[in-house]
Every structure is written in structure tokens, then in C-alpha cells.
């Protein structure tokens, strides 16, 4: 059984930072595409960032809305993916989900259905 366990959400003032973590168990981590999504009430789940193997390194991909503001990274030794969120704005308020894919899609071309495993979500609230 593959489990994704997220942590790091919370309440922060506008301009502040948070780092989300997601630890994967039950499967080899290094070959998974890892991603973060977010969702607000009444809206579809939105892809935020993803990271996938590219040869001996990993490539990062970001939604335009978070480029230069968020940073995705991974520690394969800890089977953990991170999302560093800086300069947070009230519109970043959402439930953030970690997701993992066994597939081979790239960046924004990956659909929600391409992700096979999901975390339970963690709330991020940015106050103005």
C-alpha cells in the first residue's frame, strides 16, 4: 500500500513563508513523478508544481501563478518531496495535496488522472 503523508500547512501572514513536506511509503520513491496541487472550495484542483527524473538529475516544473515564488524539491533518501512557499499571498490559501505518478508525463501536461497516489491534503491559510 502506497501512502503519502503531508505536513507543514498552517496559518501565515501575507508575505510569509511555509514549507510543506510529503513523505511516501510503500513504493520506490526515486522514479516517481512528484507533484503538488491545491484546491479551494468550488474550484477544480489546480496543479502547482512537479518534479521528475531526467537522466541523473531532476527537472522542476511550475504553474505560471507560482513561478519564482514556490520551489519544489525532493530528498530521495528520505522519500520526501517539499514545497517551499515564499512571499505568500491571500490567494494562495487552499488545501494543498501531494501526488505521485508512476507515469511519464511532463509538467503541466500531466493531468490529475495521471497521478496514481494522493495525500490527504494540508490546509494553508494566508491572512492579509
More confident residue, 43 or 27: 43
Give the pLDDT confidence score for residue 82 in this predicted structure. 98
- Give residue-wise pLDDT tens across range 101-123: 998 888 888 889 999 999 999 99
Give the pLDDT confidence score for residue 1 in this predicted structure. 86
Q: How confident is the model at residue 99 (pLDDT cuts 50, 70, 90)?
A: very high
pLDDT at 27 over 90: no
Give the pLDDT confidence score for residue 12 in this predicted structure. 98
Taking CB atoms within 8 Å and a gap of at least 24, the contacts of 29-34 are: 29/74, 29/76, 29/79, 30/76, 31/102, 32/100, 32/101, 32/102, 33/100, 33/101, 33/102, 33/103, 33/104, 33/105, 33/110, 33/115, 34/72, 34/74, 34/81, 34/98, 34/99, 34/100, 34/101
- Give residue-wise pLDDT tens across range 44-97: 999 999 999 998 999 999 999 999 999 999 999 999 999 999 999 999 999 999
Amino acid at each position: 500500500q502506497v501512502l503519502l503523508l503531508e505536513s507543514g500547512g498552517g496559518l501565515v501572514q501575507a508575505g510569509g513563508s511555509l514549507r510543506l513536506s510529503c513523505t511516501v511509503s510503500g513504493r520506490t520513491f526515486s522514479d516517481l513523478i512528484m507533484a503538488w496541487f491545491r484546491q479551494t472550495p468550488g474550484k477544480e484542483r489546480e496543479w502547482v508544481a512537479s518534479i521528475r527524473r531526467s537522466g541523473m538529475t531532476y527537472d522542476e516544473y511550475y504553474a505560471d501563478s507560482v513561478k519564482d515564488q514556490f520551489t519544489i524539491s525532493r530528498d530521495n533518501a528520505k522519500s520526501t518531496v517539499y514545497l517551499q512557499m515564499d512571499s505568500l499571498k491571500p490567494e494562495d490559501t487552499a488545501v494543498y495535496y501531494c501526488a505521485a505518478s508512476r507515469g511519464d508525463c511532463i509538467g503541466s501536461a500531466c493531468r490529475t488522472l495521471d497521478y496514481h497516489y494522493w495525500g490527504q491534503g494540508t490546509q494553508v491559510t494566508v491572512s492579509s
